[in-house]
Amino acid sequence: MKVIIRQSEETDLMQILQIHRAAFGRDAESNLVKGLLSSSKKIRELSLVACRDDEPEVPLGHILLSSVRLTDSTSERVLALAPLAVLPAVQRAGIGSALIEASSDRANELGYSAIVVLGDGNYYGRFGFEVSCDFGIFPAFEVEKENFRLKTLASFDKTLKGIVIYPEIFNSV
C-alpha cells in the first residue's frame, strides 16, 4: 500500500474523529482533536492525514501538532505532538511513522524550534525524540522521564528552558 500525506481539510473532520476513537477505544483523543482544531492554538498546516494514494479523500491516520509554551521562555515556536492515531486495521504498516516524519519536516519548514511528545520513549526515540529534561525542558505533570521527549529542529535555541504549558483544552478532556 502506497501512502500519501496531506494537510487535513475541514471535510475530513468526521473521519479524523473516527480514526482517533477507533485507535484509542474512547472519546478523549477525538474530543482533544475537535477542541484543538476549533481553537486559536490550531496550526492548520500541522494537522496531517495519511491516505492511500488511490483514495486520497479517505484518511487512514491523523497527526496533530499544536503550539505550547515554556515557563522560562517567550518563544512561541515549540509544538506538542498530540495526538497521533492510525486505524487499527492498518496499524504497523508505517503510517504512523510517515505521519511523524512528515509533521516534523513541515514544522521544521515553518521555522518551529522543537516538538515535545508524551509517549513510549522507545517508539519516539526512533524519530529523533530525546529525553526532554536533558535539554532543561520538563512536563507540568508526573511522568517517567523516558516518556516525555523532545525533538530539536533546525532553529532550536539552546536557551529554551522551562516547564511545558499545554493549551487549556488538554486539561478538559
CATH number assigned to the domain comprising residue 118:
3.40.630.30
Quick check: pTM over 0.85?
Answer: yes
The C-alpha cell that represents 120 in the structure block: 513510549
C-alpha 77/C-alpha 92 separation (Å) is 31
pLDDT digit string (tens) for the chain, length 173 residues: 799 999 999 999 999 999 999 999 999 999 999 999 998 767 999 999 999 999 999 999 999 999 999 998 877 799 999 999 999 999 999 999 999 999 999 999 999 999 999 999 999 999 999 999 999 999 999 999 999 999 999 999 888 999 999 999 998 77
Contacts of 26 (CB under 8 A, 6+ apart): none
Domain hosting 142: range is 3-171
Domain total of the chain: 1
107 with 131: CB under 8 angstroms? no
Residue type present at position 117: V
If 0-12 CB within 10 Å is exposed, 13-18 middle and 19+ buried, where does residue 62 land? buried
Amino acid at 17: L
